[in-house]
Structures are given as structure tokens and as C-alpha cells.
Amino acid sequence: MNKFVEPTEQDIKNEKLYQSMGLTDAEYEKVNEIMGRAPNYTETGIFAAMWSEHCSYKHSKPFLKQFPTEGKQVLMGPGEGAGVVDIGDGQAVVFKVESHNHPSAVEPFHGAATGVGGITRDIVSIGARPIGLVNSLRFGELTNANNRRLVDGVKDGMSDYANKIGVPAVGGEVEFDGHYDGNPLVNAMVVGLIDHDKIQKGTAKGVGNKVIYVGLETGRDGILGASFASEELSEDADVAPPTAQVGYPETGKRLMEATLQAIEYPELVGIQDMGAAGLTSSSSEMAAKGDHGITLNLEKVPVSEAGISPYEMMLSETQERMLLVVEDGSEDKFLKLFEEMDLATAVIGEVTDSDRLLLYFEDELYADIPVQPLSEEAPVYILEGDKPDADDAREDYSNEDLEAAFTSLLQHPTLADKSFIHDAFDSGDSETTLQKSGFGAGIIRIEGTDKAVSMTLDGKSRYVCADPYNGGKEVVAQAYREIIATGAQPLAMTDCLNYGSPEKPLIYNQLDASTKGMAEACDALGTPVVSGNVSLYNETKEASILPTPIIGMVGLIEDVNKIKEDKVAEGDAVYLVGDLKPQFQGSQLEKLIDQKIRQTERAIDLDLEFKRGSMLKDLYVNGEIHKIAPLGRGGLIVKLAQLTSFHDSGMDIDIDVRGDLLFSESASNYIVVAPAGMDIEGAAEIGRLSGKSFKVQAQNFNAEYDIEEINATLKGAIPECMNLTD
């Protein structure tokens, strides 16, 4: 007997209940065409989740096709839970970046914690053991009390989950800008290690093979979370915020260990994390990839309370769950393993020779959906973009009080030391974590070898806003520079595309132009895209976020013995590699003084990027230079101050350029520390490491600070802001 009274098909249509699930009128009509009838309530919810922007990429799919996805090092590209890249000797790294922006805006601790948990399970579902976590975070200015609350919640949530599950955090970046007020970006990338012969896929095939559920019992948390993540954050949004998803890292740890044991069983056919859209996405996507059908008996699904309906079971985003397909007859060995690990588990269905997702509850049929259309036939929208009016470039700030500007920039949380955030995370064993959060990319040594993996996650949203096409190139180039600076050979990348509503022409243009630039940079720098995520509709009633594509990149260090010792020493020379051009659009100086972003071209030469990066990497690996530091936010003078603080060493810099060019953020420039008198292509010696003072002299600029003053300013900026009271 049917225990659940669902709205009728007529109610769904007449009251347009499908809109509250996230479907448009046209999408609902398309579902009717596919089904050959009006869908019932459960079927409508399933289509709404699978056709949400978060799951189907219906506005971004055409742009994703631009990205190169193949290369000799790529073992598995987009389409699975994460990408896999060869690092030699039968080993590979598995990595992906994910966003948890909307959940973190609503409930920062649990939203951020479950973001870490979800991306970790993506890596584990491929069969890899996680070895490193890197984060990319965006918040509004810390003068706002709500932004301070969000920072504390996100920091505590991410670190609590990562520390308890045992994934070391080894890098990341944080930016504070008013464009993210109330709409933080919480992006996390996990890197895992795997042997080639252990790589798993999320597939369901083999008629009669069994479908196994494992993990937490299903509750009502996160229902329609994928649809909510595809809406703007406002009180009158069509899809209401779901009950907060809650992470349980202790369970997540047991699930990770159980999964890594389960992949050793030859009877395992396929495995996938129950992430966005929960049991709906995992079952339907596995069936689609395996060209089979799946029948589920939902009364067998472990639940946390009585009365949970089939609709709720299928759309719940309860955390810490996996779905497995195993050979018929082998299910007991998997169940025994999971029960021994104190995990809820059950055989809940089987693979069929149909093309249908059939959902039964106590012999009542609740859904009968064709698998391929559900997974593959979400509508794709190609819209018209609109370029903003071009601004006149401002190329001269020399009449400003530049010493005051320098002090203000050092005090700003975006440029200050981020220890307040990253000290909350466990960075792992010093034997394997060769470089952790604080300066540049993280480096993890591969145990039992002389190899190491370099990993970074970076974005330059103000550049993309100023010039979406070239800004897109710069985002990829900056991640490339960070990997090069560790002495690693860049291998591949993942991306997280964070934008506002693509239905707005200006934002659609940002998405269009920036992904084109990113794709060109991937080709030029030899970094194919092996995985990724799209997060759109990041906006409130008041405003959209800045266009924020985030690039995660990994690189291989063949011999850590050549790079693991810090060779920077008193008396070393400081070199500027590249030219300081009056390129201020999207810069921190422009933000500080003009409080705007000028829509003007940001030139970048990708051939020069590749040539210069390769040259510097080789010099560093050969021991000829001691440090590589790409210029970034704040320009040359801020990077010099950060280096001074990091190495606790004075600097005496004398450079014959206009003073404001010290703050230029022009592309392709590096600082190099090396013995004096070296002939480095494109470089000029501009000073020495010496004493206990930070001295910088340029045209109409002459500043001197004690190192302790620099340290105190950089390290105290965020704690002082966080202690503000309104």
C-alpha cells in the first residue's frame, strides 16, 4: 500500500510545482515529451536535480568543449569523478576541484566541511588515497561583521573535516573583496595517489550485478541541493534553501578506508560518490555510462528515520555515502567489509538489460525513467553575451602617495599573511610535506621515492573582470608559474568556474571570453584539463560576484633532492625577470585608489610564458638559482615584502623605474634570488638580501622599514580585522 501521498501529475502541472524544484516551463514540457506522459512527483524531482545547472552544465557545456583534455600523461580525463595523470613508475595522481559556495553562504561551517568531504570522496571513488588538500576562498571585506562570521565558519568547517579525516592542507589562496559580500566562494581541490591498475570508474554494467549502498543512513538533509546551487541567493529565489548538509568526518574516514579496501576486490564493477543529487545522480549516471538500466528497491535503503519518502531518498544529499556495483554473488563479502567498518550498508538493487531507471518502494513503482535522456539530454542554452563599454586605461599613478599606498596594501587581508586561516589545518608529516601553506604551491613527496607532486589552486578575478579573454589566459598562466616556481614540470589542470547568472548578457560574455582565453592558455602551456566543476548563479539580490575561474594544477618533481633545501642566503642577489609595464587594470593599486576595475586590455604573451617558465625551472632544478617567486597581487614591491617576511631577511633594492611601476601587475614577471652576477635571460639585478631592513628605492620612491615592522604588519592584518567590533 502506498504510504506516501504525493501531489498528482495534474497538481504538478496546474500549480507549477516543478518550478519550485528548479524546472522551467519549457524544461517541464521537454520532460513530458521524453516520458511520453506527465511525470509524477518523484520523477519530476529527479529530472529537476539532474537538469540543474550544477549537474548538467546546461549553460556552460558549449564552453567546456573548448578545453584540451588529452595528453601523453593523461590516463583519465573529464567524465568521471576526477582526472588521472601519470607520474611514472606505474603511479598516477588523481585530482579535482569542487565548489560548495551556496551551502557555505547559508551555513558556513557545515557548508565548507561537506565541501571538503565531497571532493575527498570524489578522489577516493577513483581508488586513490588522498595526499593533499589546497583551497581557494573568496570573502567580502572584513570590515563587515557577516563576512567575519563567514570566514570563521568556513575556516573551522574545512579544517575540522580535513584534520579529522587525515588529509593534509598544503596550499591555497584567499582574497577579500566587496563583490563577495554574502556570497563567499569555497573551492577545494584534493590530490590523491594511485597505482595504474587500481583506477576505478563509476559504471553500472553486467545484467544481474548488484547495487550496494554504503555510508551514513539517508536523511532529509540537502534535498534539491543541486537545484538550490543553481539559483541566486535571495529571499525570493524559486528554490528554497534545503536543510543543511552536515559532514561526519569520523564516518567519512571509515568510509574512505573501507572504499580503499573494496577496490582490492576483483568483483567490484563500478563505484561513485553520492554527491550532488545524491542517489539520483550516482545511480542514473552509472547506468548511463554502462549502457544498462538499474532497478532500485528503495525500502532497502538505510534511513535515519521512519517515513522518508522515495522522493526524499532519491534527492537527499546526506553526506558520507557511496554507491557500488558488484558482481552477482559477491555482495556478501562487500557487506561484511562495510559492516565491520561500522557503516550502514545494503543491497538496494541490480543492473538490468533495459535502458530504464526503475524505482520501487514496497512493490509500488515510483519512477520509470529512460536513463540516457535523464543523464544526457538536459537542454543546452546558447545565449547572447554583451561586452561592457571600454574604459580609458590609467597608466600613471606616480602623483599618488605611493608610500602610503604600500602601507595600506600590506595591511589589507588579501595581501597579508594568511596564517590565521591555514594554521587551523594540519599540514601533515614534515617527511612528506616539503612545502606547506604560506608561500607558493604545496609540495608532497611520494613515499618510498625521490619524486614529489606540486599542487596549487589560484584565481585572478579582477583581471578576468577587466579583460575576460586575456584574464582567462592569465588565470592559467598564474597557476603554471606557481608550479614552475617549485621546480616541477606542470602536468595538467582542473578548473572551477565561479560566475554570476549566465542569463545576464554581461556575465555570459565573461564566461564566453574567459573560457576561450583559458583554453588557449592550456594549449600553449601544455596543461590539459582533466576534470572540473561549474558554479553559476553566484549572486545576491544586490550584485553578482566577480567572474572567478579557479585553476588547480599539479606538477611533477622528478628528484626532490634537487629542490628540498632552501638555498636562499645573505648576500644573494635579487633579480627582476621581465619588464614592469603600466598594467594596472584589475590591480590592487587600482582597487585601493580608484575603487573600480577598468575595462581595458591586459596583454599577455603565452609563448613568452612557456619559454620563460621552462628556462627558470631548469635553472632552479640545476641549482643555479635559489628561489623563483612569480609576481602577483600588489606587484613587485608587495612580493618583495612577502619574500622578506618569509625568509626573515633584509633587502636592499634599487631599481630605476617610475615609482608606481613597483605596483604594476603586468603578466609574465618573476623575482629570482640567485648568486650575484648571473646572466639570466630577460633579467636585471635589482638588489641584494642583506641586513635587517627592507629598503626599496625607485624614481620618486624611497622607503625603508625594519623587518619586524614588515612581519608585524603582514601577520597582524587579518587577526586585527577579525577582532573588529561593529
Mean pLDDT value across the chain: 94
> What pLDDT was estimated at residue 166?
97
Measured CA to CA, the distance from residue 115 to residue 108 in angstroms comes to 10
* pLDDT of 3 higher than 60: no
d(CA 8, CA 14): 10
Predicted TM-score (pTM) of this structure: 0.95
- pLDDT reading at 240 higher than 70: no
The verdict on whether 179 is a catalytic residue reads: no
**Cβ atoms of 509 and 517 closer than 8 Å:** no
Percentage of the chain lying above the pLDDT 90 cut:
90
Tally the C-alpha atoms within 13 A of residue 372's C-alpha that lie toward its C-beta.
Answer: 5
- Which amino acid type is present at position 705? Y
Strands 683-689 and 651-658: antiparallel
What is the tens place of the pLDDT at every residue in 517-554? 999 999 999 999 999 999 999 998 888 999 999 999 99
User: 2 pLDDT band (50/70/90 cuts)?
Assistant: very low
The yes-or-no verdict on residue 238 having pLDDT over 80 is: no
C-alpha cell at 373: 535522456
Q: How far is it, in rounded angstroms, from Cα 130 to Cα 161?
A: 13
Among left, alpha and beta (phi > 0; psi -120 to 50; other), residue 623 is left
Q: What is the percent of the chain where pLDDT is above 70?
A: 97
Instruction: Among 64-73, 97-106, 215-224, name the one with the lowest average pLDDT.
Output: 215-224
For 121, counting Cβ atoms within 10 Å of its Cβ (0-12 exposed, 13-18 middle, 19+ buried), the class is: buried
Mean predicted confidence (pLDDT) in 250-272:
97
Architecture of the structural domain at 573-722: Alpha-Beta Complex (3.90)
Residues recorded for the chain = 726
Average pLDDT over residues 465-488: 98
- Indicate the pLDDT class of residue 253, thresholds 50, 70 and 90: very high
Q: What is the C-alpha separation between 410 and 431, in angstroms, rounded?
A: 33
**Residue 395 DSSP SS3:** coil
What confidence tier does 7 reach under pLDDT thresholds 50, 70, 90? confident
By the 10 Å C-beta count (0-12 exposed, 13-18 middle, 19+ buried), 36 is classed as: exposed
**How far is the C-alpha of 639 from the C-alpha of 650, rounded, in Å?**
13
Q: Residue 207 — pLDDT band, cuts 50, 70, 90? A: very high
CATH fold for the domain made of 70-198+443-562: 60s Ribosomal Protein L30; Chain: A; (3.30.1330)
In 10 A of CB 342, how many CB atoms? 10
C-alpha cell at 522: 592550456
Residue 230: pLDDT band with limits 50, 70, 90: very low
pLDDT at 724: 76
Annotated active-site residue 110? The verdict is no
Cβ-based neighbour number of residue 338 at 10 Å? 25
Q: Write down the pLDDT at residue 566.
A: 82
Tens-place pLDDT, residues 668-715:
999 999 999 999 999 999 999 999 999 999 999 999 999 999 999 999
pLDDT of residue 172: 92
Separation CA 303–CA 45 (nearest Å)? 19
With a CB cutoff of 8 Å and minimum separation 6, the contacts of 666 are: 578, 579, 580, 581, 582, 583, 631
Distances (CA, A) of 281 to 18, 50, 248, 262, 284: 18, 7, 21, 21, 5
- The 10s digit of each residue's pLDDT in 175-203 is 999 999 999 999 999 999 999 999 999 99
For residue 228, is pLDDT > 70? Answer: no
The C-alpha cell 618510498 sits at 448
Taking only the tens place, the pLDDT of each residue in 544-591 is 999 999 999 999 999 999 987 788 999 999 999 999 999 999 999 999
| Mean pLDDT of the 407-427 span | 96
For the segment 10-25, what is each residue's pLDDT rounded down to a tens digit? 888 888 899 999 999 9
Q: From the candidates 59, 100, 110, 422, which is the catalytic residue? A: 100
Q: What mean pLDDT is predicted for residues 253-260?
A: 98
Answer yes or no: same fold for 201-375 and 573-722. yes
How many angstroms separate the CA atoms of 152 and 160, rounded? 12
Compute the Cα dihedral for 596, 597, 599, 601 and give only its sign.
Answer: positive
Residue ranges covered by each domain of the chain? 70-198+443-562, 201-375, 573-722
Query: Who wins on pLDDT, 240 or 90?
Result: 90
Can you read off the three cell numbers belonging to residue 382?
Answer: 546558447
Residues 6+ apart with CB under 8 A from 556: 87, 88, 451, 452, 453, 454, 488, 489, 491
Residue with cell 579496501: 261
| Grid coordinates belonging to 191 | 590530490
Whether the CB-CB separation of 599 and 510 falls below 8 Å is answered with no
Per-residue pLDDT at 1: 35
Instruction: Give the strand order in the sheet containing 683-689.
Output: 627-630, 670-674, 573-577, 683-689, 651-658, 693-699, 701-706
Domain 201-375 adopts which CATH fold? Phosphoribosyl-aminoimidazole Synthetase; Chain A, domain 2 (3.90.650)
